[in-house]
Chain A
């Protein structure tokens, strides 16, 4: 039931109670008079009628969805299903150089290519709050020249092989990458070592990288999903968390200095704070030898503590964060809640709920919002982990005039598993699905390298991925119901992007509405 429904119901109950009291009292003390009956309150009656109608619509929608789920569950199995082929998660070969650099090798000789990643714990969250783009600026500048090679020379060397190099910063890590034919492995490792160890941070490149960062922020502000994501992280992690920071301003980015970059690099880029991951057509001993040859002289540094934000207090009421995007052709609506991060109890339950609700065309959200109601092109759910917990995000886009109907149905769908539980057969189906999905996820060494990096960076058990499918399969309906209740049983954050003037009233039915501009600055 929506908050508006709840309000209407409680108002109707109060009204009924007072009428009842009067009737009760009148039989003893009042002489009944026709004219004494309280006049009907048209506002209350209309509210009660509206609430009853909404409840009827919700019930009809839920019944129809349940019927469809039952029909699908009764389908015969696909023909010819055979025993699954084993999924082999390759065991990485790990060595450590004398300076502390861990070298992780994943062999795959199917194709003559290698993927080289130098992963440094120097992602965006390590940047100071008032220099929030410093990590990205630093890694961007690593590709701009080394003591031995100018940027133009580096680019020529890489391009001549047909391969590519890349620099990127995620939340937790910064990654220097090279994707090469295996015959060019030596060159790839050598150039990454140069970029990490002897960058020159040319002043003339600063403006270029800053401009790119400014455009990146502008681009995120222009995209409904980019806005929803930024707002989601802000409300889940809090503005004081490195995960919940506001958009960097042009002034903040332009104010970053070369000295700050040099200092950030000196503090974070050292072998004890990094992993070298080489995957593909390479033998571990050769990879280790190349790592030693090119990274052996990298000087050790001091350990860096992991930044932690203040734990965000759970909200005591549902709030609608409405971002006014005046040129929007439709409304984007998402519901976000805090969740368990990878490795924490409840994480795999949330993963199961993500698959049940948002997983493809047959997920509960698409079944109702797309297939049954035709309200959206697609709706989805994802769950993103951090060092400070995780965010569960579910949403999609719809016609502006359908925003109320969409939000109502979305909230009901999210709350359903906590209210009604998840049938054992549906849970079994989702467990098999996630198990099968893992087979697709481990195609190619690049993906496997990514999973290995995640396991290391988040400090997950060494056998996390080997056990993943077994652990998923051990979840019970009771666990899922409890996790669902924890996620959506209480107040949630609703994020809406669109024309605020057309959305504010309708979304006011679901909680307190706070309006922001596209910079996410609160509006009167």
Chain B
């Protein structure tokens, strides 16, 4: 067990000396269970803050999630959230252009950011003696990011190179990042490219970016997580010092796009990809948002079907019939959404296998689940996998910070992370059979076959 704070173990509320701070109960289950300490408070300006002490390594992760992603963009102004993922490292008041990366690099730490439809994340993991410096940097850019035509122009060029490198120059990427979301999601908000239109980026004036920043990059639209080697009381004081003076932003009530379930029969597309080394099939289905009961059942079913070499699909498709080189099935993949989502399967054909034969075997296995359900042993194995994933998820500082930010932003509170694997224990074999029949049907499927070839 990892550094459980005694109070958290006792499962009681406490009120700290800092105004407005409430520590939440953690590890409410048996003491033998794996859990992490969590303290949570909100500043008067609306910034929600999560602290999780862990002294097992002399490092700290500072992780900020802004509740803005490509889904908050409007037509004609796409690519903004992703461009900000670049601009946020550029310069702010007291932190000249280039200084953010310079400061973090000099600590020996790592920084990065990522953009999704519903959020953007920024994070640094550094030796723990630089905690205050990271709070200073994060607060500075939340307060006063510098946005000029010149600085925007350079980052627009960098983003265009990123698109060429990550989307245009990698096998499968163009279909998976551009064509597939357009076909799988019905709403404009989820179906347009996260990178956005390069034309939109070129056309947008600096003022449009300034307005976007002022609206979304505010304390009351963000969650700040600190994880690692610090003393919570000192960390709270530092958060107050650096983020307390920041002005509250406009009141937003971010929701999720309205997705219409696919009912018009299967969608099938074959795409030739001159960069692809092997044929690959991507099959997806509309599924409910994360943590809804049916979504949990579908995630458990995906674990049963593909997680581990003895799982049904790898055993049959890879080992027994040797039709596939690899099989993967995941919800929230390849594009994570926190509203309605997708459950996608990737089938990589083995040499000389036709994708149609591989898909036929895949559908046959799904039909078996729909008719006969799954065995008690399969259910038990999947639950063991989920428990192991839970333990692993609490093992690394940055990963832990990332999960806490997700829980606080979308799952009703960071404190729900402890023991959360137990929600899968309630799912029965009957639930799995039902969701397979309800959601994983040919009529509701979107299939992309990506085959090597095409114009070079």
Contacts and interface: CB of A to CB of B under 8 A. Distances in A.
A52 interface: no
Interface stretch (A41-49, A311-319, A325-333): A325-333
Given A159-B309, A443-B59, A330 B108 contact: no
Contacts of B128: 84-85
Interface stretch (B64-72, B155-163, B213-221, B412-420): B155-163
Nearest to B308: A159
Given A152-B315, A222-B276, A397 B165 contact: yes
B325 A329 contact: no
Contacts of B276: 222
A215 B325 contact: yes
Interface in A403-461: 429, 432-440, 442-444
B164 A374 contact: no
A375 B161 contact: yes
Interface string A377-400: 110000000000000000001110
Nearest to A157: B310
Interface in B292-348: 307-311, 315, 318-319, 322, 325, 348
A321 B59 CA distance: 42
Contacts of A24: none
Contacts of B389: 162
B351 interface: yes
A215 B318 CA distance: 14
A85 B127 contact: yes
B310 A444 contact: no
A152 B310 contact: yes
A221 interface: yes
A306 interface: no
A208 B350 contact: yes
Contacts of A107: none
B132 interface: yes
A254 B153 CA distance: 52
Contact of A223 (B58, B129, B170, B455): B170
B395 A444 contact: yes
Given A329-B164, A437-B108, A440-B125, A211 B169 contact: no
B108 A160 contact: no
Interface string A30-73: 00000000000000000000000000000000000000100110
Given A208-B318, A361-B89, A374-B154, A329 B169 contact: yes
Contact of A440 (B127, B132, B391): B127
Given A164-B308, A360-B111, A85 B133 contact: no
A181 B388 contact: yes
Contacts of B155: 374
Nearest to A430: B106
A112 B34 contact: yes
A29 interface: no
Interface in B118-161: 125-133, 136-137, 153-155, 157-159, 161
A82 interface: yes
A181 B319 CA distance: 26
B423 interface: no
Contacts of A438: 108
A113 B99 contact: no
Contacts of B109: 436-437, 440
Contacts of A367: 98
B101 A80 contact: no
Given A112-B34, A224-B169, A443-B396, A159 B310 contact: yes
Contacts of A361: 89, 98, 100-102, 104-105, 111
Nearest to A429: B106
A515 B159 CA distance: 30
A444 B105 contact: no
A438 B89 CA distance: 24
B169 A111 contact: no
Nearest to B159: A377
Contacts of B229: 85
Contacts of A85: 58, 127-129, 229
Contacts of A363: 105
Contacts of A301: none
B384 interface: yes
A433 B108 contact: yes
A433 B105 contact: yes
A397 to B, nearest CB: 5
B106 A83 contact: no
A72 B394 CA distance: 37
Contacts of A232: none
A399 B108 CA distance: 31
A290 interface: no
Contacts of B97: 371
Interface in B61-113: 89, 96-111
A113 B397 contact: no
A437 to B, nearest CB: 4
Query: For chain A, which range describes its interface: under 10, 10 to 19, 20 to 34, or 35 or more residues?
Result: 35 or more
Interface in A168-204: 181
B410 interface: no
Given A328-B169, A444-B395, A159 B385 contact: yes
Nearest to A80: B132
B387 interface: yes
A69 to B, nearest CB: 9
Contact of B275 (A181, A222, A434): A222
B270 to A, nearest CB: 18
Contact of B107 (A75, A160, A181, A433): A433
Given A329-B164, A442-B57, A113 B391 contact: yes
B273 to A, nearest CB: 9
A431 B2 CA distance: 32
B165 A377 contact: yes
A214 B106 contact: no
B106 A87 contact: no
Interface string B348-392: 101100000000000000000000000001001100111111011
Interface centre among B102, B103, B129, B385 (most CB of A within 10 A): B102
Given A155-B315, A159-B308, A434-B108, A376 B161 contact: yes
B232 to A, nearest CB: 16
A109 to B, nearest CB: 9
A113 B392 CA distance: 8
Max count, chain A CB within 10 A of own CB: residue among B98, B162, B385: B98
A51 B226 CA distance: 53
A7 interface: no
B166 interface: yes
A108 B2 CA distance: 10
Contacts of A113: 388, 391-392, 395
A214 B137 CA distance: 48
Contacts of B319: 151-152, 208
Contacts of B307: 159
B59 A215 contact: no
A219 interface: yes
B179 interface: no
Interface of A: 68, 71-72, 75, 78-87, 108, 110-113, 151-152, 155-156, 158-164, 181, 207-208, 211-212, 214-215, 218-219, 221-224, 326-330, 359-363, 366-367, 370-371, 374-378, 397-399, 429, 432-440, 442-444
22 contacts: A80-B131, A211-B322, A221-B277, A222-B171, A222-B275, A222-B276, A330-B164, A360-B104, A361-B105, A361-B111, A362-B106, A371-B154, A374-B155, A376-B161, A433-B105, A433-B107, A435-B108, A436-B108, A436-B127, A436-B130, A438-B108, A440-B126
For the complex of A and B, list the 8 residue pairs with the smallest distance between their C-beta atoms, beginning with the closest.
Answer: A436-B108, A80-B132, A361-B101, A78-B133, A162-B388, A374-B157, A85-B58, A162-B384
Given A162-B388, A360-B111, A397-B169, 18 more contacts: A75-B96, A78-B132, A78-B136, A80-B133, A80-B238, A81-B129, A108-B56, A112-B391, A327-B274, A327-B455, A362-B102, A371-B154, A376-B158, A377-B161, A432-B107, A433-B108, A443-B396, A443-B397
